[in-house]
Amino acid sequence: MINKSLKELAALLAAKQISSVELTREFLARIARLNPTINAFVTLDEERTLAQARAADERIAKGEAAPLTGIPIAQKDIFAAHGWRTTCGSRMLENFIAPYDAHIVQEFDRAGAVNLGRTNMDEFAMGSSNETSHYGKVRNPWDVERVPGGSSGGSAAAVAARMCPAATGTDTGGSIRQPASLCGLSGLKPTYGVCSRYGLVAFASSLDQAGPMAKSAEDLALMMNVMAGFDPRDSTSLPREKEDYARDLGKSLAGLRIGLPREYFAEGLDSGVAQVVQNAIAEYRKLGAQIVEISLPNNKLSIPVYYVLAPAEASSNLARFDGVRYGYRAPEYADLNDMYCKTRAQGFGAEVKRRIMIGTYVLSAGYYDAYYLKAQKIRRLIAQDFVEAFKHCDVIMGPTAPGTAFKFGEKTADPVQMYLEDLYTIAVNLAGLPGMSIPAGFAGNLPVGLQIIGNYFDEAKMLNIGHALQQQTDWHLRLPEGV
């Protein structure tokens, strides 16, 4: 049961071979058994979850089921969900109960999906290893001494350990794709603006994007059919008609032009990861695809650009957490200014404070032109590189991460080494493009992800390309030992 696709689970529910309550109880039992070790979930509400499952069963009985009705879905703890604790992995929001639903949560509720629980994450989505959460680190099910990636590491670990069939995540610089790679699952960061950010606690508003995480590309397509769509409450939401993201699944790849950026296969890439990626590309050749060498000359600048722009936006967005209106407030203080200082000092973790300080610095008078404005100009050059590349290819492929899952503490002492984990993913966010990671094999018994980057609004095409590989291989069905 735990390895069945969303489509297969929906068929079982429709045929009354299993009820949503029975299915939900099975996953809750797995969470009870595995979560004390993996720490993927931070909040569970069995009573509320089972009430949703019972409502789904009634809907199925009436013949009113949608494709995901009755299927348990885990939600990253960055999406506001009415009546649920929404912490963003931070002490600052430790006791915050959301008074409304994020658009994404609302859409899953409308589809009849069951909210299984809230997944752990790097604090305010700032991190690449899920070591910055106030609620403890998440462990990778493939090796519990290694990181699952971040910031959506809780969602990734939950799917990898089959504690849920699928989960939501957010991607600001690779936070869906990198943990998907490290945990051996599929994850999609859609085109910026395709999924509403309403109710998504903001980190960097021009980069944040919600997306699905699941076992397969087919599952991602079904998730996107629920998640994507225009939301007038979000000024960055794109007014586009709903589309069927599963419509291209099964189409031939004959004549597909795959671009391989020479910059993605240079110094810094683990040799084992490189071999797995090349093996996956060889499979695409067998399916009729053509390989084209391309260049993304400004990719090397994506990390310094990102770590100017993202902290700048974080500095602005996190100014609202001041202890006045909601969230944590320091218990003892002398005056208003002292309350601000102590609340933020005690409520935020080290990585969040580091980024707030960097962001405030680059936005300050005298440095705005030298750093922030210059970074915005280079961001345009990075996006233009992709425009030029897509004149010669249909999709771009390469590694999702430069290596496999690393051990806890291995990179926390050197923030720059941690930031380099996002070397291949950040440019996609800066350009607002869709990017996906799918399992491509193993290096040293640890999962490796293949990144597929598409042109704007090419999600359906990308999902078919990922699906095609998953029809030829079983990497996405492999399970970690002990789960």
Q: Is the pLDDT of residue 451 over 90?
A: yes
Please confirm, yes or no, whether 175 is among the known catalytic residues: yes
Q: Tell me which residue has tokens 């407030």.
A: 329
Say how far apart CA 209 and CA 429 lie, in whole Å. 9
pLDDT for 163 equals 98
How would you classify the pairing of strands 257-261 and 290-294? parallel
Give the tens place of pLDDT for each residue, 316-356: 999 999 999 899 999 999 999 999 999 999 999 999 999 99
User: How confident is the prediction for the chain on average, in pLDDT?
Assistant: 97
Residue 67 located in a structural domain: yes
Q: Which of 5, 19, 151, 196 is catalytic?
A: 151
Average pLDDT over residues 140-158: 97
Calculate Rg over the CA atoms of the chain.
21
Q: Name the catalytic one among 20, 76, 90, 237.
A: 76
Q: Is residue 19 part of a domain?
A: yes
Please, which pLDDT band fits residue 40 given cuts at 50, 70 and 90? Answer: very high
Judge whether residue 417 has pLDDT over 90: no
Helix residue ranges per DSSP H, 161-295? 177-183, 217-227, 271-286
What was the pLDDT predicted at 366? 87
Is position 128 annotated as part of the catalytic site? no
With respect to residue 78, please indicate whether it lies within any of the assigned structural domains.
Answer: yes
Kindly tell me if the per-residue pLDDT of 482 is higher than 90: no
**Nearest residue to 205 via CA among 41, 341, 340, 320:** 320
On whether residue 386 sits in a domain, the answer given is no
Among residues 141, 93, 80, the alpha carbon closest in space to that of 325 is found at: 93
For residue 386, give the amino acid letter.
F
Provide mean pLDDT across the span 7-26.
97
- Tell me whether residue 240 is in a domain: yes
Task: Tell me the DSSP string of 43-108.
Answer: E--HHHHHHHHHHHHHHHHTT---TTTT-EEEEETTB--TTSB--TTSGGGTT-B-SS--HHHHHH
What's the domain count of the chain? 1
Helix axes 302-317, 350-363, angle to 10 degrees: 100
Which residues make beta-bridge pairs with 260? 293
Query: CB within 8 A of 475, min separation 6: which ones?
Result: 184, 439, 440, 441, 442, 447
The pLDDT of residue 268: 87
Domain with 60 in it:
6-255+458-477
Q: What is the pTM of this model?
A: 0.97
Distance CA 307, CA 278 (A): 30
- With respect to residue 343, please indicate whether it lies within any of the assigned structural domains: no
Quick one: pLDDT at residue 117? 98
At 448 the three-state DSSP class reads strand
| Confidence class for position 420, pLDDT limits 50, 70, 90 | confident
The answer, yes or no, to whether residue 413 has pLDDT greater than 90, is no
> Which one-letter amino acid corresponds to residue 126?
M
| Domain harbouring 137, CATH code | 3.90.1300.10
Using left for φ > 0, alpha for ψ between -120 and 50, and beta otherwise, residue 471 falls in alpha
Please report whether residue 347 resides in a domain: no
Name the catalytic one among 128, 129, 155, 175. Answer: 175
Q: How many CA atoms lie within 13 A of 19 on its CB side?
A: 14
Q: What is the pLDDT of residues 191-248, one digit of tens each?
A: 999 999 999 999 999 999 999 999 999 999 999 999 999 999 999 999 999 999 999 9
Mean pLDDT to the nearest integer, 59-73? 97
**One-letter amino acid for residue 469 of the chain:** L
Mean pLDDT throughout 275-286?
98
Please provide the distance, in angstroms rounded to a whole number, between the alpha carbons at the two ends of the chain: 13
- Within a domain: 302: no
Residue 69 CA, chain-centre distance (Å), reads 22
